[in-house]
Structure 1
Amino acid sequence: MGTPRLAMFDRLPEIYRIRDTEQDPPGQLQAYLGAIDRVQTALHDDIAALYLDFFIETCNPWVIPYIADLVGTSHLAGDPHDLRADVARTVRNRRRKGTLGAVESVVFALSGWAVSAVEMRERLLWAQHLNHQRPDAGGVPPLSLLTDITAARRGGSVTLRDPALLSLIGGPFDPFAHSVDLKPPGGAYNLPDLAIFLWRLKSYRVPVSQPAFYAINTVGKPGFAPFAACFKLHPMAEPMVLFNSHRFTADADPPLLASLDAVPGPMPAARLTQDSVAGHPEAYVHVTTYDQTTAPKRPAEPASDDVGLVLHLPQDFAGTAWTFRGANLCAWDGGLQPPPRLSEIVIDPDRGRLLFGVGAAEADLLDQFLLVSASYGFSGPTGAHPISRPSTPTSWQEQTAILRRVNFHDDIAGLQNALADLPSLDRPLIIEIDDSMTHELDLTAVSGIGSEGGNPVLLLGASLWIRAASSERPVIMLKQPLGFAPLNVSLSDADQAMMGMLMVRLEGLYLTRDTGFPADAPLIGRAALNQLHVLGCTLDPGGFLDVNGSRAPLWSGMHLTDDFGFTSATKLAAFQQVPDIQVERSITGRLAIGVSYTLTLSGSIVDAGTGVGETPGAFAVCAPTVTPEDDWGPELIVNGMTCFGRMRVTRATGNGGIWTGRLEAHDNQAGCISFSCFSGDADRIPPNHACVFATTSPLRFTSESFGSPGYAQLADGSDRHIREQGPSDDEMGAFGYLLNTHKSKNVGIRLREYTPIGVRPIVIPVT
């Protein structure tokens, strides 16, 4: 890294700089040289930028097509990161053209999706000549017991002895032979077909979190463990589909093709069973120990290439030889059949449940100290996820903000203590949570907390930012709704200036309800601010599918009234702000917000529990009144949004929205909505452009239930206009910013270029 460039004045001898300060007025030479230096600096920066444009890794996005011309590759559109990777690998991939490794490398570079390329001719069965029978390699009888996963017999009958092997049928790693599929427009199993299996969901691993303890059940059967310690891996005890981590190096030398146990998909329960011939639990789960007796009581976080589920046990279990089993644990209260053996771990990957076969003392240790690093799947970084986050923006640093770090492993009440004495601060406060544990927050126990109307409120004299550290996803369990208000509210210039700059920013947080949280109360109940920015957060909307198939109750995200929570008419008159509520790449429940606010939804999901065709639907955005069907909510600005419910707002404008329920705008002569999908159920909409209606253009989601891996993901059965003609010629809805349509089209273009003549690539999405 080069040394910083000095200004011309700073390069002068000290004597001239001293004399310049003695002039009347002072600084004349500095001002003169500064005018010259600004021109030279601009020239220097321009030359430096030209040098960076020589390289595909550092060039401006507009330069990418020109470098592509130099290597003779066709132009694509989409995410600049993907286009850079595509151009950078052009020469290498051409040398490998026609090989499976090249195909996987090209697809991965263009999309970032996990991929497995399979030559389907290798999976076709054939009629053997009676004089030259080859039932299998080595002449072993076809019905013999298998020794490994590659030993599926191409002749004879399929063995039914191994569930792990049978679970692979029809998937990308199917080892069995199939008959030719001639169904129009052409099946996957055919001579010219090259199947490209894609995993479009990403796997997110929470570094270290605390599972929800369920029970310690007595087994009471000889030959088995005395007790079964039961846990739910989700910190809120919700069902959770376990995913494996993605461990794939696209440009390894020699080439490494995608393997069954290294793709970011749901864990197959049969592969977790250790005594199965085709079981391979070590590729999915890893057990480690940590010292729980000394501070900080925090285990080491898994490496990026570690497996999807890492169990952190107290050091008392060091040296224990664990065995593993995959099973359905829905009926674990009635006793697992067969019961767990001593030192056996039973995993239910479809529901995120965990059972240990242990003794009484060991069960108590697990109850107190078990920590996990579990992986789950989702479409992209909408909501709270353990993703990379940038450092503190310069604008906050220039205000000499106070930084308070919180780590649950050092202080269980760290978040509560970091919020202490907010009224005494005259500078912005940044609270950074450096863990992914579950923090309980009782506002009434925060030092210096305010109160108005009988509700606790965080009184602020300066802006507040609560954020998750990079690659962390902390969970905050609230005892009461969050409320924010200015410390001083008056008509004085100082107070008006303070209120005009007052902002609260929540970033990367999973906000949910603790036991005793008021029924039907929102997570955020007051925002007397200039701006409330919710970035990359999950305001737990509820509504997840329980193991019995029923849907959990739905919860409210915000309830913000037009009196801003003030009980004094004097304060209400002095509060001359129009709070701007910005919800960006977040998931939230119902937003009941008054007309005195503005609401901006960008790349977000608002869930009131109304699916496609369920009209008119429950309210997702509405007025905070007893009869929202008779009143109007805030002014709405949309920039990519999926709404599972009905909206009733004062005005609406924006693009890229999907509404499953009715949209009603009071002033439907103002604003414009473009490239969006409406329910078609008596919508009252403003002027619109390039929009469609779900009644004539089918709208389908992979899942409409919060907590599912494919939640709010557009299904392939959706109308082409919804999938391809949203903003930037990509899909509508919350995930439009991912440019998935561009990725799919780019993959199709490159596959036609990188596959030999006569080979027919077929793209098959797995997730």
Structure 2
Amino acid sequence: MSDRLYDLLPAALRRRDLEAGGVLRALLDAFTGQADLVDAELARMGEDWFIETCQEWLVPYLGDLLGVRGLHPVQGVPGTAGRAWVANTLGFRRRKGTLAMLEQLSRDTTGWPAKAVEFFELLSATQNLNHLRLHRPATADLRRGEALELVDGPFDTFAHTVDVRRIGAGGRHNIPNVGLYLWPVSSYWLPKATAFALADPGTYAVDPLGADRPLFMPPRPETDIEHFAAEENVPGLLRRRPLFAELEALRAGAPPGTFFGDRPVFRVHRAEAPGDPLSEVDPVDVQVCDLTVWRRPTVAGRVAVDPVLGRVALPDGDVPDRLAVSHAYGGVADVGAGSYSRRGDLGPVLDRPVTWQLAVSVSEPPVPGEVVADVAAAVAEWNDYQDAHPGTVGLITILDSHRYAADLTASARPRVGAGARLSIVAASWPVIPDASGPPGSTVRPLGRIEPSGLRPCLTGRIEVLGTAAEDEEPGEFCLDGLLVDGDVRVVGAAPANLGALRLRHTGVVPGKGGVQVNSANPRLSVELYRCLSGPVKLPATVTSLEITESVVQQETARAIDAPEAAVSVVACTILGQTVAKELYASDCLFTQKVKIERTQSGCVRFSHVPPASLTPRRHRCQPDLALEAGGAPDAQIIARVTPAFVAEDFGHFGYAQLTPGTAPELSTGADDGTEMGVFGVVHRPQRLANLTGALDEYLPFGLAAAPLPVSPASRSEK
């Protein structure tokens, strides 16, 4: 009870009111509640004058007062949110037309790193004697090897002849042109990831699958608003020459520079014997070189690293127990196994209280009942525990980015009983002080995990067996955040019974594995969410398959083989044939024929479906719409709207990404105007439209600007 108004009365009145039973006090208490509401409303009205504190519904009204143009909202891009865009408007207008402002505008509207370039500064032209530009000679100096690597890219410093084509349509170097280079490929930092040991002892591939993959620059933030982006501020490919030069200077006694200062672009770690902790190799002992043809360092203790191929070599006879590399790799979006954060995306893992948990790590010492050294041991403990405790909700957390030999077959396979759930997740399991224990004691709370910064690789087949009886509620099995170099299978003879198989943010390497159900499991539902996977094969007894924002690849056979299943495919890229009983598909790219048995139910909408496919009714699909519009021979139209990809090699940074110049029927053909397929989650067309729309207001008269997305595979990034 509040006496705020009652205390304002004279003491004599309050005394008489108390003698009369407090009627006046009760009345003023009712008034006090309304007064509090008025006070709160007045305080909120004061906050509503400012864009930082106003209510959400007022943001467009404040923006309208400033004449702010709306942007397409893009999830994960704060600059496209109404509040941030309105708040930055005055700052943009005060700096209108400056190159630094255009660079900042590009970053805010697209969410991608950006570099603005005035092309007239790079024109080869006769110079006035009163304004000599000695830094811009008309002819190229062929002795500047590092500068030659950057020709025709965002960091080009050589002069060029005039290009009369319009910017955005191939043109670059002309007086009115301003190029806004953008980096759509992101750089993901992966600390202390175990390298792949090749057949020749002492040689390694940084990629956990043993392929040659380039290392990326982990971008450094720009602290000054007037700062122009440099090579270290964008997620480009690492180059050998500047890294070699800096390490040579470091060995000569120079202070650390751009690439190996407080945040090295990569680090090498080694453990000499089993159980030893990883120790970092001093940068002065790292030698950057070209390992296209394998060469060994001749100086003891040296480590040779090729950042372009992602290769590492040690001197002859030097073979540590474990070699790890902290590095950045490239990717288009948060799809598949990756070191990105999945903190808000663990619903199917943590929607029930965890009752049993165990960690797997080669970096931490084993602790009974808490940490074990390999996945098979963790699964064995799970099997024993859930046999004795039916209905257990279990969680196995893998704490480091190591290559684990995890052939979970036969007696080593995980068993999931009635009402139980087992999830194997890439995540850290934090240690916190134990408030209920003695001083200094710690505990790892069940279910409290941090799913980011890790990408463990499991090599071998993973088989799961459901052991629930026919009249019991079947259990569930989930993989989250893992790279699986093998098969994921549901096995067991009748009456094997598993209720759900869920793969989330997981990569199952095509060509080596896929998702397969080898037993009846009539109540099983299979779900893939944001996965990169090999083929999915289901028996006739499994009737439910859901694939969302994923890639499924098997180009020489059926990518989806579910002859009796009702299949839901949303925002996916299917590299191979699709066979199912029923199909609901939206915003998808099917690259090979689709054959659906029951065409009177289901729907395919806003998708690419190859000709001669047998599907349920289609709505705004390609090439159907393009053929209806005509304008060219059918074969030519079909070829124009057939999807082509930057790479179809699993693990490549451009895997399953549509090539630049893809027909707009595909690049903007999804339901919400983004591209069809898995990378519609990036909302690339909306980001570019935000930038081009904003340029009309902020570009000075007489200048022309256009976004220029940078492909890491271009010459400028090699």
TM over 0.5: yes
Change (3 A) 1:400 1:322: closer
Aligned to 2:539: 594
Aligned to 1:30: none
Aligned to 1:533: 502
**Residue 165 (structure 1) aligned with residue 160 (structure 2):** no
2:514 and 2:282 mapped to 1: Cα distance?
A: 46
**Residue 187 (structure 1) aligned with residue 171 (structure 2):** yes
CA shift for structure 1 position 58: 8.5
C-alpha deviations, 1:359-414, integer Å up to 9, x for none?
Answer: 75xx23xx224321121111101101111122765994654533333333124624
Question: Secondary structure in 2 aligned to 1:261?
Answer: helix
Aligned to 2:530: 585
C-alpha deviations, 1:257-288, integer Å up to 9, x for none?
Answer: 1101231011122322227999999668649x
Change (3 A) 1:59 1:405: farther
Aligned to 2:469: 489
C-alpha deviations, 1:286-326, integer Å up to 9, x for none?
Answer: 49xxxxxxxxxxxxxxxxx8343222246888767335333
Aligned to 1:377: 330
Matched letter for residue 425 of structure 2: R
From 394, 409, 414, the counterpart of 1:429: 394
Aligned to 2:422: 464
CA shift for structure 1 position 605: 0.2
TM-score (norm 2): 0.76
Change (3 A) 1:457 1:330: farther
CA shift for structure 1 position 633: 5.0
Change (3 A) 1:57 1:714: farther
Conserved 8 A contact 1:408-1:437: yes
Aligned to 1:83: 80
Conserved 8 A contact 1:439-1:474: no
From 458, 470, 476, the counterpart of 1:503: 476
Question: Secondary structure in 2 aligned to 1:556?
Answer: coil
Structural mapping, 1:532-611, within 5 Å: 532-541=501-510, 554-561=511-518, 563-564=520-521, 577=523, 579-595=524-540, 596-608=542-554, 610=555
CA shift for structure 1 position 734: 0.4
Aligned to 1:348: 306
Aligned to 1:271: 242
C-alpha deviations, 1:498-519, integer Å up to 9, x for none?
Answer: 32xx322221111113xxxxxx
Conserved 8 A contact 2:137-2:158: no
1:53 and 1:534 mapped to 2: Cα distance?
A: 45
TM-score (norm 1): 0.72
2:694 and 2:546 mapped to 1: Cα distance?
A: 37
1:759 and 1:344 mapped to 2: Cα distance?
A: 52
Question: Secondary structure in 2 aligned to 1:618?
Answer: strand
- Cα RMSD (Å): 3.6
Question: Secondary structure in 2 aligned to 1:370?
Answer: strand
Aligned to 2:665: 721
Structural mapping, 1:312-351, within 5 Å: 312-313=269-270, 321-322=284-285, 324-327=287-290, 329-332=291-294, 335=295, 344-351=302-309
From 192, 195, 203, the counterpart of 2:187: 203
From 267, 287, 290, the counterpart of 1:310: 267
Aligned to 2:11: none
CA shift for structure 1 position 478: 4.2
Question: Secondary structure in 2 aligned to 1:678?
Answer: coil
C-alpha deviations, 1:185-217, integer Å up to 9, x for none?
Answer: 562100011111111001011122111223668
2:682 and 2:305 mapped to 1: Cα distance?
A: 33
Aligned to 1:660: 591
Structural mapping, 1:64-83, within 5 Å: 64-79=59-74, 81-83=78-80
Question: Secondary structure in 2 aligned to 1:712?
Answer: coil
Change (3 A) 1:717 1:398: closer
Conserved 8 A contact 1:244-1:308: yes
Change (3 A) 1:242 1:372: same
Question: Secondary structure in 2 aligned to 1:258?
Answer: coil
Change (3 A) 1:121 1:695: closer
**Residue 402 (structure 1) aligned with residue 333 (structure 2):** no
Deviates more, 1:665-674 or 1:76-85: 76-85
Matched letter for residue 238 of structure 1: A
Aligned to 1:300: none
CA shift for structure 1 position 695: 4.2
Conserved 8 A contact 1:64-1:83: no
CA shift for structure 1 position 580: 1.8
**Residue 230 (structure 1) aligned with residue 203 (structure 2):** yes
Change (3 A) 1:321 1:739: closer
**Residue 415 (structure 1) aligned with residue 375 (structure 2):** yes
Matched letter for residue 586 of structure 1: C
Change (3 A) 1:104 1:528: farther
Deviates more, 1:468-477 or 1:171-180: 468-477
Aligned to 2:26: none
Conserved 8 A contact 1:524-1:557: no
2:675 and 2:526 mapped to 1: Cα distance?
A: 25
1:281 and 1:745 mapped to 2: Cα distance?
A: 44
Conserved 8 A contact 1:523-1:539: no
Conserved 8 A contact 2:469-2:497: no
Aligned to 2:227: 256
Aligned to 1:107: 106
Change (3 A) 1:755 1:373: same
Conserved 8 A contact 1:340-1:346: no
Aligned to 1:679: 610
1:649 and 1:739 mapped to 2: Cα distance?
A: 29
CA shift for structure 1 position 746: 0.5
Change (3 A) 1:135 1:306: closer
Matched letter for residue 560 of structure 2: V
Conserved 8 A contact 2:246-2:259: no
From 382, 396, 403, the counterpart of 1:438: 403
Conserved 8 A contact 1:165-1:278: no
1:264 and 1:169 mapped to 2: Cα distance?
A: 18
Change (3 A) 1:374 1:727: same
Change (3 A) 1:92 1:308: same
Change (3 A) 1:54 1:415: farther
1:512 and 1:182 mapped to 2: Cα distance?
A: 51
Matched letter for residue 218 of structure 2: S
Matched letter for residue 584 of structure 1: Y
CA shift for structure 1 position 480: 3.3
1:172 and 1:670 mapped to 2: Cα distance?
A: 51
Change (3 A) 1:102 1:183: closer
Aligned to 1:733: 677
Change (3 A) 1:525 1:77: farther
CA shift for structure 1 position 103: 1.6
Matched letter for residue 423 of structure 1: D
Change (3 A) 1:429 1:180: same
CA shift for structure 1 position 457: 4.8
Matched letter for residue 420 of structure 2: A
Structural mapping, 1:616-695, within 5 Å: 618-623=557-562, 632-680=563-611, 682-693=612-623, 694-695=638-639
Gaps of 5+ in 2: 1-33, 272-277, 367-371, 428-450, 624-637, 712-718
C-alpha deviations, 1:646-701, integer Å up to 9, x for none?
Answer: 11111111301101100111111111111101122x10011011110254524222
CA shift for structure 1 position 96: 2.0
Matched letter for residue 614 of structure 2: R
Conserved 8 A contact 2:501-2:527: yes
Aligned to 2:97: 98
**Residue 387 (structure 1) aligned with residue 387 (structure 2):** no
Aligned to 2:21: none
From 480, 483, 487, the counterpart of 2:461: 480
